[in-house]
Amino acid sequence: MDWARLAGGPVLPPADRLQAALDRWGCRVAGPELRGGMSSVIPVVSADGSSLMVKVLEVGPAKAEAIALRAFPPVAAVRCFDHAEDLGALLLERLTATSLSGVPADQSITVQARLARQLAVPDPDGISRLADADLTGHLRRLLRQCPSFLSHRSVAAARNTLDDLPQEPTTSLTHGDLHALNVHQDTDGNWRALDPSPLVGTIAFESHTVIVERDRLRDVIEAGTAEVHRRLALFAEVAEVDPELSERLCQARAVLSALYEQGRGNTGLGDGLRWMAEALTPARPR
């Protein structure tokens, strides 16, 4: 079948697109399929015996991921060997199964921040800009569902930060989702990023993802506000990014995440994120 002819037509089911990618690249399945929130990934062996991964996701995000991975330095990110745009499929290097999840907080933050800096390469074109994301509109929509979940002061601080984003001048890439499960070791023991949701914009945007790791959110809440600020300062120092902007974006994204999770009925996570949002809200408006 000429799969390329179907690129402009109805989207094929992921299983069909995955099989088409395996056929096109001459790969055979070498392990169970892994599923993420928006993708399917399967370990494969190529015709020459190389251990690789095939990833299938929606066509638009797949194109953006391929552009970003080819722009990122290979010492800091998984390599993309091929991209079947019509299938939304990527042929990727296979890293090990060892992720940063469970690594002590300071070590993990240091690795993530260092990667954030390494991945901040010039805009390769074809990636959405953080400055163009209507996050203020997103906040407004979330507030319709949960109008009184957060303090007025916390919401106002977030709105001020999000209103400033259209003027954000950064022209380099940021990973967009640099949490611990998206950082794996390669066979030489080096930490490298995978599964980007790339944006053109400040790497301070990663501060929320790095600091608010769900598997250690409870620990940081128990440690208190000073520990949140200390971890953010560590991230900003290693990532070489403005610490105030890192705090502001972490606070704003905590507000968005708290409202989103509460609106979905995830009240435990919503409460934790609300604590984070309020803890980072300045006493006086900036």
Q: Are strands 173-174 and 89-93 parallel, antiparallel or unpaired?
A: unpaired
| CATH number corresponding to 3-93 | 3.30.200.20
The pLDDT of residue 5: 35
Cα(39)–Cα(194) distance, integer angstroms: 13
The radius of gyration of the chain from alpha carbons, rounded to an integer in Å, stands at 20
Q: What is the pLDDT of residue 285?
A: 63
CATH architecture, domain 105-279: Alpha-Beta Complex (3.90)
* Pair 273, 261: CB distance under 8 Å: yes
pLDDT computed for residue 269 by the predictor: 95
261-284 pLDDT tens trace: 999 999 999 999 999 999 999 977
The beta strand positions in 116-169, using DSSP E, are: none
| Mean pLDDT calculated for residue range 223-240 | 97
Q: How confident is the model over 129-161, as pLDDT tens digits?
A: 999 999 999 999 999 999 999 999 999 999 999
Q: Calculate ∠ Cα 134-140-145, nearest 5°.
A: 130
DSSP 201-249: S-GGGGHHHHH--GGGHHHHHHH-HHHHHHHHHHHHHHHT--HHHHHHH
Task: Answer yes or no: is pLDDT of 47 > 90.
Answer: yes
Confidence of residue 1 (pLDDT cuts 50, 70, 90): very low
pTM of the model: 0.92
What is the pLDDT, as a whole number, of residue 37? 67
- Each domain of the chain, given as residue ranges in start order, spans 3-93, 105-279
With a CB cutoff of 8 Å and minimum separation 6, the contacts of 221 are: 272, 275, 276
For 3-36, write each residue's pLDDT tens digit. 333 334 446 788 899 999 999 999 999 999 887 6
Q: Whole-angstrom Cα distance, residue 103 to residue 19?
A: 36
Q: What is the pLDDT of residue 122?
A: 97
| pLDDT value of residue 286 | 64
Whether 208 and 257 have beta carbons less than 8 Å apart is answered as yes
- Percent of the chain exceeding pLDDT 90 equals 88
Among candidate residues 123, 163, 122, 124, the one with its CA nearest the CA of residue 140: 163
